[in-house]
């Protein structure tokens, strides 16, 4: 059968409204086998690696997957929480709290969490929303800055699922929120709270995930949106030009990536004798391997080895109340015009 039969709940008149939060993904366990499975899916996405498929498949399976999973698994073990992967733990909390925040505002909507790579998959969570009777679904990629390598890949997965659906729900997507006042305010508040507890640094480093420079040349807006986020955050914190710097982390492969590189800048600041550096990763709404291991551990070690004295990593927004309120505001804005069950019940009562 080419198209799936529809669940009984999805055939009911009217239908529910659903929200699908999407993050990047994580291995199911901090083991080489689980990490290999995750990396194979992640690095096979043509949105992530724009190399001719036949050539890239050879490189991936002959050179990367035989060695990298074991190295990555060791890094995951260094940040793994008792409840599991930090990214999964915090993302689940975000989904649960978002449902509660929306409920307090009178919205009865289904909220589910999906991962672009790994579990729970986007397809499985869309199936679950349809089984709950959702005929309208707001897709929220948890990437503040739009990139074809991330946000567009989520859209690809949703479209692929829809291609097999008999009754395709009405979809909306939040493509970006890099300059959303609530998001910027939540970032500023997290920095201010850290400084109230630990004092101010000599330099604030704003580190974003890197992408190949070629994507920028081909029209990807990611670099410009990172710059906009950094400027807005600096303005909200009333920072002078020499008090902050924007950098890009997580370089992979030999191609030229967005610069300046976070690791390079941290080493330079250490050699220059900058006493204290604080690092925040505005593009990561939940802590994960790239923030907790690459920045809070490797970045700290690089800075101190180069002569730096004091290093602070400012945690991601995670499940902070100010961020969850901002996320609820953002979702509520994009739900406008769609009925929720609570709103329909109020209308019937009147």
What integer pLDDT is reported at residue 26 of this predicted model? 98
What integer pLDDT is reported at residue 8 of this predicted model? 74
What integer pLDDT is reported at residue 346 of this predicted model? 45
Greater confidence (175 vs 350) lies with 175
Segment 293-327, tens digit of pLDDT: 999 999 999 999 999 999 999 999 999 999 999 99
What integer pLDDT is reported at residue 13 of this predicted model? 58
Query: pLDDT category, 32, cuts 50, 70, 90?
Result: very high
Q: Is the pTM of this model over 0.75?
A: yes
Structural tokens at position 177: 């929120």
What integer pLDDT is reported at residue 1 of this predicted model? 63
Domains of the chain: 8-26+85-176+322-349 (3.40.50.1400), 181-314 (3.40.50.1400)
| 335 pLDDT higher than 60 | yes
| 174 pLDDT higher than 80 | yes
| 198 pLDDT higher than 50 | yes
| 169 pLDDT higher than 50 | yes
Segment 123-158, tens digit of pLDDT: 999 999 999 999 999 999 999 999 999 999 999 999
Residue 223 annotated as part of some ligand binding site: no
Terminal-residue alpha carbon distance, the chain: 45
- For the chain, the three-class secondary structure string (H helix, E strand, C coil) is CCCCCCCHHHHCCCCEEEEEEEEEECCCCCCHHHHHHHHHHHCCCCCCCCCCHHHHHHHHHHHHCCCHHHHHHHHHHHHCECCECHHHHHHHHHHHHHHHHHHHCCCCCEEEEEEEECCCEHHHHHHHHHHCCEEEEEEEECCCCCCCCCHHHHHHHHHHHHCCCCCCCEEEECCCCCCCHHHHHHHHHHHHHHHHHHCCCCEEEEEEECCEHHHHHCCCCHHHHHHHHHHHHHHHCCCCHHHEEEEEECCCCCCCECCCEHHHHHHHHHHCCCCEEEEECCCCCCCCHHHHCHHHHHHHHHHHHCCCCEEEEECCCCCCHHHHHHHHHHHHHHCCCCCCHHHHHHHHHC
Separation of alpha carbons 297 and 211, rounded Å:
22
Residue 178 annotated as part of some ligand binding site: no
129 class by beta-carbon count within 10 Å (0-12 exposed, 13-18 middle, 19+ buried) = buried
């Amino acid at each position: 059968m080419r198209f799936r039969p529809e669940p009984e709940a999805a055939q009911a008149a009217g239908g529910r409204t659903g929200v699908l939060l999407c993050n990047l993904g994580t291995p199911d366990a901090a083991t080489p086998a689980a990490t290999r499975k995750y990396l194979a899916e992640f690095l096979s996405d043509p949105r992530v690696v724009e190399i001719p498929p036949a050539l890239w498949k050879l490189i991936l399976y002959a050179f990367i997957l035989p060695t990298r999973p074991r190295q990555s698994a060791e890094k995951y073990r260094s940040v793994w929480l008792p409840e599991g992967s930090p990214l999964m733990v915090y993302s689940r909390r975000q989904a649960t709290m978002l449902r509660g925040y929306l409920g307090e505002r009178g919205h009865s909507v289904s909220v589910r969490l999906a991962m672009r790579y790994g579990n729970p998959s986007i397809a499985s969570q869309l199936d679950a929303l349809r089984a709950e009777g959702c005929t309208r679904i707001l897709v929220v990629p948890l990437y503040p800055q739009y990139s074809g390598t991330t946000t567009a890949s989520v859209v690809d997965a949703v479209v692929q699922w829809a291609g097999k659906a008999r009754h395709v729900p009405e979809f909306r997507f939040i493509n970006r929120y890099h300059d959303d006042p609530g998001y910027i305010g939540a970032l500023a508040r997290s920095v201010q709270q850290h400084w109230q507890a630990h004092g101010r640094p000599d330099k604030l480093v704003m580190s974003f995930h890197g992408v190949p420079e070629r994507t920028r040349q081909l029209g990807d807006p990611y670099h410009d949106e990172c710059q906009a986020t950094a400027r807005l955050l600096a303005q909200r914190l009333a920072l002078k030009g020499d008090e902050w710097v924007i950098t890009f982390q997580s370089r992979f492969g030999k191609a030229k990536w967005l610069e300046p590189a976070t690791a390079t800048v941290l080493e330079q600041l250490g050699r220059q004798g900058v006493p204290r550096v604080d690092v925040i990763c505005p593009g990561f709404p939940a802590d994960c391997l790239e923030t907790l291991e690459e920045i809070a551990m490797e970045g700290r070690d690089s800075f101190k080895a180069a002569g730096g004295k004091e290093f602070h990593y400012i945690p991601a927004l995670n499940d902070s109340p100010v961020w969850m309120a901002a996320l609820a505001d953002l979702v509520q804005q994009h739900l406008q015009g769609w009925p929720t069950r609570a709103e329909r019940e109020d209308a019937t009562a009147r």
